[in-house]
């Protein structure tokens, strides 16, 4: 029997359940912590996927505990489905960056509004870069080569986005001096 085909969200939940039983609430928290910077999950998606995976026999719901939380455990079929999914080459990435959409239609905005959007996004990317750099020592010490590779991508991605902001024309909020790119 072949394992059901998984979407990436369901597969990520199965990946986290390899570490032991977790409630939907706990899965949302661990997903936000570990993959939230590059993969978005909503609470409703998590619970919808858990229900679908339970119906498909990929996870098993435990007894309801404190605060109405029900732990889910990985089944043999769930391990097989995850193994099939993780062994399949990932598809191409897709850029879905709302700021790019706003800039592409920027002629319909007041210039100061668009510059404000760019400034707000620049600030957010500066914050993320700072957080990634702060996490680097612990990630190197405890995260292993896989977590370190993902963190390195995050740092370089944020540096690239900030360099792009710097290169924007002044009327879009570009900086006068490009920032230097650092190394890990």
pLDDT, tens digit, 9 for 90 and up, residues 35-48: 888 888 899 999 99
Q: For residue 74, which phi and psi values (nearest 5 degrees)?
A: -75, 135
Q: Kindly give, in sequence order, each residue whose CB lies less than 8 Å from that of residue 100, ignoring residues fewer than 6 positions away.
A: none
pLDDT, tens digit, 9 for 90 and up, residues 103-151: 999 999 999 999 999 999 999 999 999 999 999 998 888 888 998 999 9
Give the pLDDT of residue 2.
58
Distance CA 165, CA 160 (A): 9
Give the pLDDT of residue 3.
59
Please say which residue of 31, 53, 86 terminates a domain. 86
Q: Is residue 41 a part of any domain in this protein? A: yes
Helix (H, G, I), strand (E, B), or coil: what is residue 124?
Answer: helix
Using only C-alpha atoms, the chain has a radius of gyration, in whole angstroms, of: 20
Please say which residue of 39, 63, 86 terminates a domain. 86
pLDDT, tens digit, 9 for 90 and up, residues 48-105: 999 999 999 999 998 887 777 889 999 999 999 999 999 999 988 888 899 999 999 9
**Shared-domain flag, residues 107 and 168:** yes
Q: Is residue 183 a part of any domain in this protein? A: no
Q: Tell me the residue length of the chain.
A: 184
**Shared-domain flag, residues 106 and 153:** yes
Please say which residue of 61, 86, 111 terminates a domain. 86
Distance CA 82, CA 11 (A): 6
pLDDT, tens digit, 9 for 90 and up, residues 18-27: 999 999 999 9
**Shared-domain flag, residues 82 and 103:** no
Mean pLDDT confidence for 145-172: 94
For the chain, give percent helix, strand, coil, nearest 5: 65, 5, 30
Give the pLDDT of residue 25.
93
Report which of 41, 39, 35, 65 is spatially closest to residue 147, judged by C-alpha positions: 35
**Shared-domain flag, residues 67 and 112:** no
Domain that holds residue 124: 98-172
**Shared-domain flag, residues 74 and 106:** no
Q: Is residue 40 a part of any domain in this protein? A: yes
Token pair recorded at residue 123: 């600030």
Sign of the C-alpha dihedral computed for residues 147, 148, 151 and 152 taken in this order: negative
Q: Is residue 184 a part of any domain in this protein? A: no
The domain tally of the chain equals 2
State yes or no: pLDDT of 1 exceeds 60.
Answer: no
Q: Is residue 181 a part of any domain in this protein? A: no
More confident residue, 177 or 40: 40
**Shared-domain flag, residues 118 and 50:** no
Q: At what angle do helices 24-35 and 8-17 cross, to 10 degrees?
A: 100
């Amino acid at each position: 029997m072949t394992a059901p085909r998984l979407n990436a969200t369901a597969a990520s939940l199965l990946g986290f359940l390899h570490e032991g039983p977790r409630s939907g609430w706990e899965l949302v928290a661990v997903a936000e912590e570990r993959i939230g910077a590059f993969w978005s999950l909503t609470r409703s998606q998590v619970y919808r996927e858990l229900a679908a995976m339970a119906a498909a026999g990929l996870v098993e719901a435990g007894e309801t505990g404190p605060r109405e939380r029900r732990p889910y455990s990985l089944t043999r079929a769930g391990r097989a489905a995850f193994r099939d999914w993780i062994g399949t080459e990932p598809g191409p990435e897709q850029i879905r960056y709302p700021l790019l959409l706003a800039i592409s239609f920027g002629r319909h905005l007041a210039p100061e509004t668009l510059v404000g959007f760019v400034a707000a996004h620049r600030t957010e990317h500066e914050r993320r870069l700072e957080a990634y750099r702060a996490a680097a020592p612990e990630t190197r010490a405890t995260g292993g080569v896989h977590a370190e590779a993902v963190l390195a991508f995050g740092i370089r991605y944020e540096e690239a986005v900030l360099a792009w902001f710097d290169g924007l024309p002044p009327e879009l909020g570009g900086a006068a001096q490009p920032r230097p790119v650092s190394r890990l």
